[in-house]
Amino acid sequence: MAASIVFDDSLWPLLVSRFEGQVSDEAYEEYLLQGSLYLRRGEPYVSVLDTARLSLPTVRQRQRQFEWMRQHERPMRELLLGCAFIITSPLIRLTMSTVFHVMPMPTPYVAVQDMARAVTWATARLRDAGHAEAAAGILERLHL
| Mean pLDDT to the nearest integer, 4-28 | 95
The percentage of the chain sitting over the pLDDT mark of 70, rounded to a whole number, equals 99
* pLDDT at res. 94: 87
The model's pLDDT over 45-71, given as tens digits with 9 standing for 90+, comes to: 999 999 998 888 889 998 998 899 999
Average pLDDT of the chain to the nearest whole number: 94
Q: How far apart are CA 69 and CA 22, in angstroms?
A: 21
**Can you give the three-state secondary structure of 39-83, one letter per residue?**
HHCCCCEEEEEEEEEECCCCHHHHHHHHHHHHHCHHHHHHHEEEE
| Mean pLDDT to the nearest integer, 120-125 | 98
**Got the DSSP string for 83-121?**
EEEE---HHHHHHHHHHHHHS--SS-EEEESSHHHHHHH
Q: How far apart are CA 3 and CA 5, in angstroms?
A: 7
Residue-range domain boundaries for the chain? 4-138
| Mean pLDDT to the nearest integer, 118-142 | 98
Whole-Å CA distances, 21 to 27, 37, 56: 12, 24, 8
Res. 1: pLDDT tops 60: no
Environment class of 29 (CB within 10 Å of its CB; exposed 0-12, middle 13-18, buried 19+): middle
Res. 140: pLDDT tops 70: yes
Q: How far apart are CA 111 and CA 86, in angstroms?
A: 6
For the domain covering 4-138, report its CATH number. 3.30.750.24
Q: Find out whether 110 and 76 touch, Cβ atoms under 8 Å.
A: no
Lowest mean pLDDT among 11-15, 84-88, 100-104: 100-104
Residue 138: name the closest of 73, 84, 99, 64 by CA. Answer: 84
